[in-house]
Amino acid sequence: MAANKDTEKKELSASFQMNADISERKERKPQEFYDDIKAKYAAERELRLEYRPPGSTFYQAAEGDFAHYEHDPHATEIDERDPINDEVEVLFIGGGFSALLTSARLRQRGVESIRIVERGADVGGTWYWNRYPGVACDVVSYDYLPLLDEMEYVPTRHYAGGSEILAHCQAIARRYDLYDLAVFQTTVTSTTWNEADQRWHVRTDRGDEMIAKFVVCANGTLAKPKLAVIEGMERFTGKSFHTSRWDYEWTGANLENLADVRVGIIGTGASAVQIVPEVAKAAKSLHVFQRTPSSIDIRDDWETDPEWAAKLAPGWQSKRRQKIIDKFRAQADKRANLKGISRDEKIRRQENANIDAMMRIHARIDETVEDPATAEALKPWYMLMCKRPCFHNEYLPSFNLPSVHLVDTQGKGITEVGENGPIFEGTEYPVDLLIYATGFEVQQTGIYNSIVGEGGVELQQKYSDGIRTLLGIHTAGFPNMFIMGGYQASFQFNLTDLLQVQGDHIADCIDLVRNGAHETLDAKHDREDWWVQEVISHRGKTNRNAECTPGYYNFEGQENRRQDGNYNGGFHAYIDHLDEVKATLNDWFVLN
Ligand code: NDP
């Protein structure tokens, strides 16, 4: 065990390793070096766009013939129950961290009637579904796991594994009595505002019609498995599944059944990066089908030092979180106040620092991967943060095993699967097990069920010219409804930071209605207009769409309506806006 007395200091610096200090930056190489790399980035982007012409479909939902890819392998039996027709005060659509941490805040404010409606057979959301071998969160656990102060819990490792995170979700649900009213294996199909009783009427696929005063859309940002559109997928005669639906009955709990199995994995995103080392150790052979490499940085993991943990004072996590936010703010202020440096120069320095970081990642590949062609193919050619950065110490060495093979499709991707396995450039790669590591549908509007607000307006209809929200949480005409984690909210690498500030805000709003003896709270239209403009004004600050390699971070490199994305003004600025709203709640909402 590493003696990590200085854990917090280490943590805080690790959280900022990607934010170069451009004010003190010393150029290490001539500008031509960086210009050449940028030209290579552009060429790689163009190559990928060529294979994804506008209007083409690259992904499909796991529906119709492919619906089995969404079946729950963790609870194959459906618990029979009668339809529910009752009323609760707050209803959450989804039972992941959004619902859990907001519920905790509501309990602290005395709200008793809280129901979670969840598709899975338990709480946990992402961590309920994703149980693949090697699953872990590579955001530091002391920051990622929410409510550590309240739960008086210190994670066992620097990076928590999936099972520990799921157990934490379950512990929160038990601690705050959220299992009492929760319904599982239930999907909400419609949420309709009833003018007569001023309540939401929520229907489900189990025949329920539940009534709720407040509804929180807590259904997650990456919740539905998505499959690449690959010709012949249905022809494949072997076993196949999506990473988020790992079939341990087939592979064995410790992958022991894979000893004689040839495995193929399509995709090399954050899920595949965690799975590859585990399968590489267990399977007869492994073929990894790559379209675009991920950036793989060092994963500095260790067991929590019990002495350090014992010394943590009550409230340690909140203080730690505050320190991180203060540091973000200080960095942003420093950047904004840089005198005598033009905007273009700031961008140039930032880009060069980013390229230096990526070249360090390239050098690590050269040092680790023995076969030069494989090493070359594993190098990402795009700015760090164009895609989700990954951290792993075993992923790259896996490619040194004689049983592990990288099939680099050079941006094209696998476009055909035959009876025996994926086909690339006329060669079929026979496998017994094919794992789709192709990611998740990106939640664009925050909405999967039909949501109908005041005047019979459907939310999708309201959004037809672009998303319209206040802070990404409220949308006018849909009183007492809140959206968590969706677009027009701030981007935050540690998602639970965002969910926590949103949860606090939602609890404040619900409190305002209850304590003011009101029935409803709805965003004012002019305030919503202001936020949409605010989102648009900051969208220009990122060149992601124009310069990044395609992926779900930038709508696969296609044009998007400018307001349909995250708020890019910075997390600290988003928090400032939430604080401002908190101080003047009555100015922002119509209360009836
Ligand atoms: P991603 O969407 O990140 O990755 C999908 C992968 O599939 C990409 O590499 C994509 O290539 C590839 N792909 C798609 N179609 C094809 C094809 N036809 N042929 C070959 N490759 C193809 O999904 P993940 O499940 O990996 O991750 C989703 C998100 O979940 C992450 O971005 C992260 O936010 C989160 N996550 C977080 C973890 C953590 O530690 N905190 C761990 C795991 C996931 P291309 O890049 O070219 O599009």
Domain regions of the chain by residue span: 12-63+226-300+340-441, 87-221+443-591
Give the CATH superfamily of 87-221+443-591.
Answer: FAD/NAD(P)-binding domain (3.50.50.60)
Q: Six-digit token pair at 573? A: 């600025």
C-beta 385 within 6 A of ligand 1: no
Question: What was the pLDDT predicted at 227?
Answer: 82
Measured distance CA(553)–CA(548) in Å, rounded: 9
Q: Which residues pair with 408 in a beta bridge?
A: 290
Question: What was the pLDDT predicted at 456?
Answer: 97
- Protein residue with least CA distance to atom 20, ligand 1: 413
Strand-pair category, 114-117 with 224-228: unpaired
79 contact partners, CB below 8 Å, separation of at least 6: 121, 184, 185
- Condensed to tens digits (0 to 9), the pLDDT of residues 495-529 reads 999 999 999 999 999 999 999 889 999 999 999 99
Measured distance CA(82)–CA(80) in Å, rounded: 7
Question: What was the pLDDT predicted at 545?
Answer: 57
Q: Which atom of ligand 1 is found nearest the CA of 228? A: 15
- Protein residue with least CA distance to atom 48, ligand 1: 551
Q: Which atom of ligand 1 is found nearest the CA of 230? A: 18
Question: What was the pLDDT predicted at 55?
Answer: 65
Q: Which of 141, 143, 273, 291 to mutate to test the pocket of ligand 1 (most atoms within 8 A of CB)?
A: 291
Contact 135, 152 (CB under 8 A): no
C-beta 361 within 6 A of ligand 1: no
pTM over 0.85: yes
Question: What was the pLDDT predicted at 1?
Answer: 41
C-beta 301 within 6 A of ligand 1: no
C-beta 467 within 6 A of ligand 1: no
465: which DSSP letter? G
Contact 476, 525 (CB under 8 A): yes
C-beta 296 within 6 A of ligand 1: no
Question: What was the pLDDT predicted at 540?
Answer: 64
Distance 437 CA to ligand 1 centre (A): 6
C-beta 219 within 6 A of ligand 1: no
134 contact partners, CB below 8 Å, separation of at least 6: 274, 275, 277, 278
Contact 361, 296 (CB under 8 A): yes
**C-alpha dihedral over 118, 127, 571, 302, to 10 degrees?**
160
Question: Residues 160, 325, 11, 299: is their CA dihedral positive or negative?
Answer: positive
C-beta 295 within 6 A of ligand 1: no
Mark out the alpha helices in 73-125 (DSSP H runs): 97-108
- Our measurement of the distance from residue 515's CA atom to the centroid of its chain's CA atoms, rounded to an integer in Å, reads 34
C-beta 135 within 6 A of ligand 1: no
The answer to whether 12-63+226-300+340-441 and 87-221+443-591 have equal CATH topology is yes
Measured distance CA(44)–CA(82) in Å, rounded: 55
Distances (CA, A) of 570 to 246, 325, 443, 490, 555: 36, 10, 20, 7, 20
Measured distance CA(4)–CA(156) in Å, rounded: 13
Question: What was the pLDDT predicted at 487?
Answer: 86
490: which DSSP letter? B
Question: What was the pLDDT predicted at 542?
Answer: 54
Measured distance CA(188)–CA(126) in Å, rounded: 18
Residues of the chain with pLDDT under 70: 1-27, 54-58, 443-447, 540-546, 558-561
Q: Which atom of ligand 1 is found nearest the CA of 556? A: 48
- Protein residue with least CA distance to atom 33, ligand 1: 270
Backbone torsions φ then ψ of 59, nearest 5 degrees: -135, 155
Terminal Cα-to-Cα distance of the chain (whole angstroms) = 58
Shortest CA distance to 245 belongs to which of 224, 265, 267? 224
- Protein residue with least CA distance to atom 30, ligand 1: 270
Q: In which element (H, E) is residue 117 found? A: strand 114-117
C-beta 551 within 6 A of ligand 1: yes
- Protein residue with least CA distance to atom 36, ligand 1: 270
- Per-residue burial over 465-497, b = 16 or more CB atoms within 10 Å of its CB, e = otherwise: ebbbbbbbbbbbbbbbbbbbbbbbbbbbebbbb
Distances (CA, A) of 470 to 124, 484, 502, 530, 588: 27, 12, 12, 8, 9
205: which DSSP letter? T
- Protein residue with least CA distance to atom 19, ligand 1: 413
Measured distance CA(468)–CA(26) in Å, rounded: 43
Which amino acid, 6?
D
199 contact partners, CB below 8 Å, separation of at least 6: 87, 193, 211, 212, 213
Measured distance CA(165)–CA(537) in Å, rounded: 37
Measured distance CA(473)–CA(510) in Å, rounded: 13
Q: Which of 97, 143, 144, 388 to mutate to test the pocket of ligand 1 (most atoms within 8 A of CB)?
A: 388
Question: What was the pLDDT predicted at 354?
Answer: 92
- Condensed to tens digits (0 to 9), the pLDDT of residues 217-272 reads 999 877 788 888 899 999 999 999 999 999 999 999 999 999 999 999 999 999 99
Measured distance CA(359)–CA(235) in Å, rounded: 41
Q: Which of 60, 137, 222 to mutate to test the pocket of ligand 1 (most atoms within 8 A of CB)?
A: 222
Class of domain 12-63+226-300+340-441: alpha beta
Q: Which of 44, 271, 566 to mutate to test the pocket of ligand 1 (most atoms within 8 A of CB)?
A: 271
